[in-house]
Amino acid sequence: MSPRSPREISVLVPPGLAPLYPDDPSRIGPYLVLGRLGQGGTGTVYAAVDVSSDNAGDRLVAVKTLTSPELEDPSAYPALARRLRSLAAIDAAQVVTPLAHDADANPPWAAMPYMAGERLSHYVTKRGGLGSGKLIALAVGLAEGLSVLHARSVSHGALRPSEVMLGTDGPHIMDCAVAPSALRIRGNGATWLSPERYRGGSPSPASDVFAWGAVVAFAGTGRLPFGTGEAGEIAERTAEGAFDLEGLEPGLRPVVDRALSPDPDLRPSLREVVGSVIAVWQAEHNPYEEQPGRAEISRILEQEWHAIEPPARIPEVVRLEGRMAGKRPTRLLFAAGTAALALGLIGAGVWGIGQFLPSSDQEESSAEAAADAQETEEAVETTIVARFDPSEQEDPEKGPWVYTPVDRDDTPIRGQGVPTHEAWALQWDEDGEPAEADIDPEAEVLCAKFCTAPEDVFLDEDFRGTYEMTGAEFIDYLSWGPVMIVEVTFDEESMEGEGPPEIVQITELFTD
Ligand SMILES: Nc1ncnc2c1ncn2[C@@H]1O[C@H](COP(=O)(O)OP(=O)(O)OP(=O)(O)O)[C@@H](O)[C@H]1O
């Protein structure tokens, strides 16, 4: 970020940065809030900048406001303050720790370096399991990150693929401030919870080792090690040690196998984990090294961690008028040509871009375009039938989510019993251009088949789904599930706004 005039700054922002909601803060501590990076179960993460900094380098930060239900009880605050202080004292490449925090603010917040990269969950969903070298680098990097946390008496408690950011230099463990209670874990989210954590136990080094094993198994095979299902079903499998490591790099299997032991006392320590993973790598690359030394961790990351590039960022001018009075900043997104020019400057973080400011003519014509778009939107129906294909999702966790309007094929497959989900999904033709929508995590969702075990369907007599779920669970299926054909209802007001419309109701349509 570089100061341009007292009233405006320029900054490179991530491409998927969502606009602020009306109730979002425009300032958090010393940071000016630019947009939303996402919302999870423990808070909301904003992209923000520190305008008081003279550093012309990359000052984009991620600020998380901690609004987790675990913090509703004021007695949780002293522990949160201690935990944030411990985290802030950590200086380790593999862990994202607070640059600044305020546990007494309402809500408490923590500012972290903005991490450019791709979440492990997203990466594996798109490309499948990691190759052997990269997997070993991931396994050792995560184990080392957890060791650093444990050395400060902090157990992560919620390690999972979506909390691992793959950067250009290696994996980074995120979201160390608050671990959600096991009671709030739904569906496949139980995969990463050790049996003792699922039963309500506190985060511990041994439960982090379990999560490490599950994450490495997922990263290596591209599959959930305990299969899919309701949280309770998965927890039964974790308690029985019923995991599937088929296809995992053979050298890593023994240590992952032990890490996933239902009995915390039988799991290896992180020291053993780090040693075993290094030994697997040395056996292939450095057979003469006698002891698996720590220096090997950097060597492994240097040699094996490549081809992970963060998405290019987009330049924005942020106008500061009215900021001190608490008004929202104006964000001007640049034209495509300017964005392309910016790609060459990624890494510099921030640059002066005054010459590209749109003229008032351009602003007028974009206002006209917006008015036209609004007119078109008014003609759009609030309920449509749409196809959601997990493989088409840019960011299946954060959205916005891509859907394609569809219509039923004239010749549905009949008389063959319940079709497979794939055969059924093929019976629908495209009926419009792909578009993007937000999904309300609280949306009412009625599932017929995609959410159930094979051969099970939940239908009423009109062949509509009846199995109740939430928007958050539907979003979860957009990372893992099959293609889904659903009737969606948009929130009418959201269709009038500038951003993607919001889906508030979803019903799977199904017929035999
Ligand atoms: N330091 C960071 N740099 C860049 N993006 C971040 C950073 N921290 C979080 N994010 C992004 O913000 C979004 C929300 O993150 P968050 O961790 O709150 O969500 P979550 O993992 O879905 O839920 P939970 O609150 O349960 O951990 C995610 O897309 C995440 O990648």
Q: Is 60 left (phi over 0), alpha (psi -120 to 50) or beta?
A: beta
For 119-172, the pLDDT digits (tens) are: 999 899 888 899 999 999 999 999 999 999 999 999 999 999 999 999 999 999
What spacing in Å lies between the alpha carbon of 39 and ligand 1's midpoint? Answer: 7
Q: Tell me how far CA of residue 164 lies from CA of 150, 175, 211, 306, in angstroms.
A: 17, 9, 12, 16
Tell me if 42 CB under 6 Å of ligand 1: yes
Domains and CATH numbers, the chain: 9-114 (3.30.200.20), 116-308 (1.10.510.10), 381-508 (no CATH)
In whole angstroms, give the CA distance from residue 203 to residue 264.
12
Tell me if 175 CB under 6 Å of ligand 1: yes
Tell me if 180 CB under 6 Å of ligand 1: yes
Q: Which of 125, 175, 176 to mutate to test the pocket of ligand 1 (most atoms within 8 A of CB)?
A: 175
In whole angstroms, give the CA distance from residue 83 to residue 176.
9
pLDDT surpasses 80 at 365: no
In whole angstroms, give the CA distance from residue 461 to residue 449.
15
Number of other CB atoms surrounding residue 320 within 10 Å: 18
CB–CB of 112/98 below 8 Å? yes
DSSP of 125-156: HHH-SPPHHHHHHHHHHHHHHHHHHHHTT---
What is this model's ipTM?
0.96
In whole angstroms, give the CA distance from residue 262 to residue 242.
9
What spacing in Å lies between the alpha carbon of 166 and ligand 1's midpoint? Answer: 13
Average of per-residue pLDDT across 364-385: 53
For 422-452, the pLDDT digits (tens) are: 777 878 888 888 999 999 999 999 988 888 7
Q: Tell me how far CA of residue 346 lies from CA of 58, 204, 356, in angstroms.
A: 10, 39, 17
Work out the mean pLDDT of the chain and round it to a whole number. 81
For 303-353, the pLDDT digits (tens) are: 999 877 777 777 776 665 444 334 444 554 433 333 333 333 333 333 222
For 158-203, the pLDDT digits (tens) are: 999 999 999 999 999 999 988 888 888 888 889 999 999 999 999 9
pTM to 2 decimals? Answer: 0.67
Q: How many helices (H) and strands (E) does the chain have?
A: 14, 20
Q: Which of 325-329, 385-389, 424-428, 494-498 has the highest mean pLDDT?
A: 385-389
Give the contacts of 115 (CB within 8 A, at least 6 positions apart): 62, 96, 165, 167, 172, 174
CB–CB of 22/39 below 8 Å? no
Give the type of residue at 55: N
In whole angstroms, give the CA distance from residue 500 to residue 403.
11
For 68-107, the pLDDT digits (tens) are: 888 888 888 899 999 999 999 999 999 999 999 999 998 9
Question: Which strand ranges, in their side-by-side order, compose the sheet holding 8-13?
Answer: 2-5, 8-13, 314-319, 330-333
Residue 398 annotated in ligand binding:
no
pLDDT surpasses 70 at 254: yes
For residue 398, what pLDDT is reported? Answer: 86
What spacing in Å lies between the alpha carbon of 127 and ligand 1's midpoint? Answer: 21
What spacing in Å lies between the alpha carbon of 383 and ligand 1's midpoint? Answer: 31
Comparison of pLDDT for 65 and 290, the residue scoring more: 65
